[in-house]
Amino acid sequence: MKKFFSAFIALAIFVSCAVVMSSCSGGYDGEINVYNWGDYISDGSDDYLDTIKTFEEEYNIKVNYTTYETNEELYNILSSSNSSYDVIIPSDYMVEKLIDEGLLQKLDYSKIPNSKDLMDNFKKPSYDPNGEYSVAYSWNVTGLVYNKTMVKNKKPDSWEYLWDKDLKGSILQFNNNRDAYAIAMQLCGITPDKFSKKDVDKATVKLKEQKPLLKKYVMDQVFLEMEKNQSAIAPYYAGDIYTMMLNNENLVGVLPKEGSNLFVDAMCVPKNASNVDGAHKFINFMTRADISAANSSYITYASPVKSAKKLLDKDLRESELVYPPDDYLKKCYTFHNVDDETYSYMQEQFVKLMS
């Protein structure tokens, strides 16, 4: 009798759980799994628009939103597990790699009418030359930030200042192989959009020269280092430099005269997506001017949507760091995919450099 009773209780708990769970998801007409960079969407904090919630309300589709920290992490998850994502937002070179390896599916642009509003250079970008697999989400360039009280009356305007002996001990460098190598390659006269092992070796020599002058290799720590007057000069993403400058008036952001890396993150649909229709709706929604503008003001990178620019704050829209002028963009390059061997060779050299 006792056994029967406990079995009954267990069943009752199971049933009630099932009822609760089904009633939670039951209100929606479906769901999509979105995989994006961490902190890369307007999420409702600090009076910004909660874009995901708005999408869920308008389309009645539930969004399961998860994040990653690097393109390589995204690639590994996508290529080696059975996880099913409907929308992913990799960077330029990773889009190219995913297309090459057949991990993306072609988009039906008739279901993404807002894509007509993309800036012309993002309609058939170099990483997706026929414009079949991706819709740009956000773009920006790399730049330099320096603290005008700490650079000994110099006016840094070139990547060379990251090798300046007078600033020894207060220079920062990217803690990210592609970005660090790109700067070193530019100074070695190599255009870093594509590179070989030989180019990596040349840049490694350049980076080795820099190491004794450096304070640290940083990523997110750069905010603390620069905003709290801990370091004199650092390379970083120009849109983030814009944010740093709002928090410390001693900081100056510049676009280096050699040109820099124009990076684009673009929305794609993996081959094994389970809700392709929902994915198209999501991409179309994120490309709508007001939504793209909301995301752009939150992450302070430029929006690829033409009519979104007008909706942005004047300061943001007119900042050269967020929207670099066209003649500067001519000097910029976009990363292309390099083969696995060269890539892991670069990573190996970079880690060795740091050890």
Partner 1 sequence: MKLKRPSIPYIFWMVIFTLIPIVLILYSSFTDRNGNFSFEAFSKAFGYYDVFLRSLWIAFISTLICLILAYPLGYIMSRQKASVQNTLTMVIMIPMWMNFLLRIYAWVTLLQNDGPIDIMLSLLGIHTTLIGNQGAVILGMVYEYLPFMVLPLYTVMAKIDKGLIEAADDLGSNKYIIFKKIIFPLSIPGIISGITMVFVPSASTFLVAQYLGGVDDIMIGDVIDRIFWSDQNTGSAIALILMVAILVFLIILNFFGDEEAVAT
**Site residues, partner 1 (CB under 8 A):** 70, 72-73, 76, 175, 211, 214-217, 221, 224, 228-230, 340-341, 343-344, 347-348, 350-352, 354-355
Q: How far apart, in Å, are the Cα atoms of 163 and each of 38, 234, 238, 268?
A: 31, 11, 20, 38
Nearest approach, Cβ of residue 226 and partner 1 (Å): 12
Give the integer Cα–Cα distance in Å for 193 and 182: 8
Give the integer Cα–Cα distance in Å for 107 and 113: 12
Task: Outline where DSSP puts E strands in the chain.
Answer: 31-37, 62-68, 87-88, 135-147, 171-174, 214-218, 233-237, 251-254, 262-267
Give the integer Cα–Cα distance in Å for 53 and 55: 5
Judged by beta carbon, residue 173 or residue 297, the one nearer partner 1 is 173
Judged by beta carbon, residue 81 or residue 130, the one nearer partner 1 is 81
Give the integer Cα–Cα distance in Å for 23 and 144: 51
Nearest approach, Cβ of residue 12 and partner 1 (Å): 23
Nearest approach, Cβ of residue 137 and partner 1 (Å): 22
Judged by beta carbon, residue 171 or residue 245, the one nearer partner 1 is 171
Helix (H, G, I), strand (E, B) or coil at 350: helix
Collect all residues with Cβ–Cβ distance below 8 Å to 75 and sequence separation of at least 6.
Answer: 90, 94, 97, 98
Residue showing tokens 């870093």: 192
Nearest approach, Cβ of residue 85 and partner 1 (Å): 18
Helix (H, G, I), strand (E, B) or coil at 151: coil
Within 10 A of 175 (CB to CB), how many other CB atoms are there?
A: 16
Judged by beta carbon, residue 16 or residue 79, the one nearer partner 1 is 79
Start-to-end CA span in the chain (Å) = 68
Nearest approach, Cβ of residue 208 and partner 1 (Å): 11
Judged by beta carbon, residue 132 or residue 348, the one nearer partner 1 is 348
Judged by beta carbon, residue 36 or residue 114, the one nearer partner 1 is 36
Nearest approach, Cβ of residue 351 and partner 1 (Å): 5
Judged by beta carbon, residue 211 or residue 271, the one nearer partner 1 is 211
Nearest approach, Cβ of residue 7 and partner 1 (Å): 19
